Structure 1
């Protein structure tokens, strides 16, 4: 039996989605945890519960866009534009995580 099937049997999908959001939050302090959360979200992306599956897809998108904007912001810090990019990314990602947590608590799909 694969690791993904063992994890799927051990934890309900809604708790896994919550765990991923918490990993993303801790990613602001320890960057690697956000990547771990993204890998878990990729594994659970095809969840049978369609409402929770929207959260996994949104979490994967959030990680991909975050990687893009953090790299872009890091490359342009010396020009001065990078600080604006990184600040905008930070507030956008906090907003997306908060929206996702709120929707997950109400068992609603996320956008």
Structure 2
């Protein structure tokens, strides 16, 4: 039995999706945990359960857009515009993570 099969038996995909959302939340304080969550989401994105697969794709989109906006905000901080960009990113990402957790709890697909 492969390592992936052992992990799949130990942690159901629904719990993994919730764990990734929690890693993203902790990423506000410790940035590396969000990247760990993104790697896990990448490994699980071809989940056979279509509803959970939408959550993994949703999590990857959150990570990609966050990298873009945090990078742009960081580059423009000296101009003063960066603070607006970073605040907007924080509100957007918190909303998307909360929305994903809510839909996961109701077992609905993420949008």
C-alpha separation in 1, matches of 2:7 and 2:66: 26
After superposition, what is the alpha-carbon deviation per residue over 1:27-80, rounded to whole angstroms, capped at 9, x for unaligned? 000000000000000000000110011000000010010001001000000001
Q: How far apart are the structure 2 equivalents of 1:48 and 1:24?
A: 23
The answer to whether the aligner puts 1:88 opposite 2:88 as a matched pair is: yes
TM-score by length of 2: 0.96
Moved over 2 A (4+): 1-6
Distance 1:70 1:2, change over 3 A: farther
Unaligned 5+ segments in structure 1 are none
- Determine the C-alpha separation between the residues in 1 that align with 2:39 and 2:6: 15
Aligned residues between the structures: 111
Aligned position for 2:53: 53
